[in-house]
Amino acid sequence: MSFYVYNSYGKTREEFIPIKENHVGLYTCGPTVYNYAHIGNLRTYIFEDTLKKSFEYLKYDVKHVMNITDVGHLQSDADTGEDKMELGAKRENKTVWEIAKYYEDAFFDDCQKLNIKRPTIVCKATDHIAEMIELVQVLERKGYTYIADGNVYFEIDKFPDYNKLANLSMEELEAGSRVEVDENKKNPLDFVLWFTNSKFKNQIMQWDSPWGRGFPGWHLECSAMSIKYLGEKIDIHCGGIDHIPVHHTNEIAQSEAALGHKWVNYWMHGEFLVVDGGKMSKSSGDFLTLTRIVEEGFKPIVYRYFCLQSRYRKQLMFSYDALSDAGQSLKKLKNKIALIKDAVTENETVNSKKLDAFKISFGEQISDDLNMPNAFTVLNDVLKNDELNPLEKITLAEDFDRVFSLDLLKEEVVDISGIDEKLVNELLDERNDARNRKDWAKADEIRDRLNELNIEIVDSKEGASWKLKD
């Protein structure tokens, strides 16, 4: 089955042709660990996780590499020239190393809650300073760099394809990069590969280098680490769309200049999650985290489901109302599956030939540049198909959930309006029986279980009934 992706490099839909048959080398830009990830960032990681699992579903062997930016950098989404790691350390009265460790753990905690699988290799910038220095040395040897006021710059005018990914006018590129004016640059879009003379004189994270003690520019780590772990040619490189005009444009320039050939075959970018007031910015500190939405009563998995309801290349508007609708819809889906699961009988068997047609339909949707809304339609068609027995339906739901990762077969009530009345009435009958037998322990156990489901038992002369807890 062909896998089609939208390649941001060239802006076309293309058939994915792997470098090595049945293998995918995937690099995704990871978090800068100076604060919690916001739910916008997490949307991008959910998209990348879904991409990886879609390839795995179609029997590709995926090697996924992700970096952790744990060294401060001067350039990013809302660049004001601050060193973000130092900023985090000051804010929390901790060392930069403590900040990095804390927020890296918090990030993987969020990922786990969202069923995002850990990449094959997670690599930290601070563990790869030698590789970054080596890359700058290659660029220096090949004549792509210059030194000004102690810093090593990449000279973009030496790299004619500089604008190929973004395909913007120079003015737009400049506006996108939002860099502070740096008098040392030959071209305002030149970028620093190695700082020895930053405006942050007391940088704690500094290393010796051929150009003096200092630290790397932000873009360098992704080139150095991806080449180390995935080789000189990569199948797919991902990130959020904000990375197109600066970070990825610079990554391409320095990697291809150093390697002397094309570096990445397919660039895939996830659109933004937006909130009412516009963009969510990690650096401004004004953002929604997964913990926050859990505090509002939503299960993390509801957020994953919410993201999967729209296509990754479309902007997604976040609101609690929309999240609540997603919660209702997920609950209905899970209840439907739970009822089918209950209906499975002992002597049912699975006709795997019959299932294949549905697996192919599902595969066609996920390989259509991740058409997840249509993939859910395939699931719904399966659940209501009269020619499939309950066991076959459950088998398919479980199979599709390898990509959805929504714990579709786990019976859990997503929220109070998701009460399975049949189950509640059965439990109530069981409790009545226990009380009639004077088995108080059992009766209490059932009451506690109902309590967990947000159900309150009301005992009266007419017998026991139940209501939702206030």
Footprint of ligand AMP (CB under 6 A): 29, 31-32, 40-41, 43-44, 77, 239-240, 242-243, 270, 272-273, 280, 282
User: If DSSP codes are grouped into helix, strand and coil, which group holds residue 415?
Assistant: coil
Residue 65 in contact with Zn ion, rule: CB under 5 A: no
Give the nearest distance from C-beta 143 to ligand AMP in angstroms.
Answer: 31
- Binding partner selected for residue 152 from Zn ion, ligand AMP, none, CB under the kind-specific 5 to 8 Å limit: none
Q: What is the largest CA-CA distance in the chain?
A: 91
Closest-by-Cβ residue to ligand AMP is: 240
Instruction: Determine contact, residues 299/363, Cβ cutoff 8 Å.
Output: no
**CB closer to ligand AMP, 282 vs 311:** 282
Give the nearest distance from C-beta 222 to Zn ion in angstroms.
Answer: 3
Give the nearest distance from C-beta 362 to ligand AMP in angstroms.
Answer: 26
Range 170-175 contact pairs with CB under 8 angstroms and sequence separation of 24 or more: 172/245, 173/245, 173/249
Q: Residue 447: which H helix or E strand, with range? A: helix 440-452
**CB closer to ligand AMP, 27 vs 466:** 27
- Binding partner selected for residue 253 from Zn ion, ligand AMP, none, CB under the kind-specific 5 to 8 Å limit: none
Residue 62 in contact with Zn ion, rule: CB under 5 A: no
**CB closer to Zn ion, 132 vs 403:** 132
Residue 29 in contact with Zn ion, rule: CB under 5 A: yes
Instruction: Determine contact, residues 27/236, Cβ cutoff 8 Å.
Output: yes
Give the dihedral sign, CA 439/444/450/456: positive
Give the nearest distance from C-beta 266 to ligand AMP in angstroms.
Answer: 16
Q: At what angle do helices 320-342 and 300-308 cross, to 10 degrees?
A: 100
Compute the residue count for the chain.
Answer: 470
Tell which residue, 352, 378, 354, has the closest CA to residue 365. Answer: 378
Give the nearest distance from C-beta 272 to ligand AMP in angstroms.
Answer: 4
- Binding partner selected for residue 273 from Zn ion, ligand AMP, none, CB under the kind-specific 5 to 8 Å limit: ligand AMP
User: If DSSP codes are grouped into helix, strand and coil, which group holds residue 256?
Assistant: helix
- Binding partner selected for residue 240 from Zn ion, ligand AMP, none, CB under the kind-specific 5 to 8 Å limit: ligand AMP
DSSP letter for each residue of 391-437: HHHHHHHHHHHHHH-S-TTS----SGGG--HHHHHHHHHHHHHHHHT
Give the nearest distance from C-beta 77 to Zn ion in angstroms.
Answer: 13
Question: Residues with Cβ < 8 Å from 379, sequence gap 6 or more?
Answer: 333, 362, 396, 397, 400, 404
C-alpha gyration radius of the chain: 26
Give the nearest distance from C-beta 30 to ligand AMP in angstroms.
Answer: 7
Instruction: Determine contact, residues 264/270, Cβ cutoff 8 Å.
Output: no
Residues 166-225 that bind Zn ion (CB under 5 A): 222
**CB closer to ligand AMP, 43 vs 63:** 43
Which residue reads 């753990």 in tokens?
105
User: What is d(CA 134, CA 126) in angstroms, rounded to the nearest whole number?
Assistant: 14
**CB closer to ligand AMP, 110 vs 420:** 110
Give the nearest distance from C-beta 39 to ligand AMP in angstroms.
Answer: 8
- Binding partner selected for residue 222 from Zn ion, ligand AMP, none, CB under the kind-specific 5 to 8 Å limit: Zn ion
* E strand segments, 41-92: 61-68
The tokens for 247 are: 């970070």
**CB closer to ligand AMP, 313 vs 354:** 313
Helix and strand element counts for the chain (H, E): 15, 15
Give the nearest distance from C-beta 453 to ligand AMP in angstroms.
Answer: 35
- Binding partner selected for residue 44 from Zn ion, ligand AMP, none, CB under the kind-specific 5 to 8 Å limit: ligand AMP
- Binding partner selected for residue 280 from Zn ion, ligand AMP, none, CB under the kind-specific 5 to 8 Å limit: ligand AMP
Any bridge partners for residue 62, and if so which?
24
Q: Which stretch binds Zn ion (CB under 5 A): 29-37, 108-116, 209-217, 413-421?
A: 29-37
Question: Site residues (CB under 5 A) for Zn ion?
Answer: 29, 222
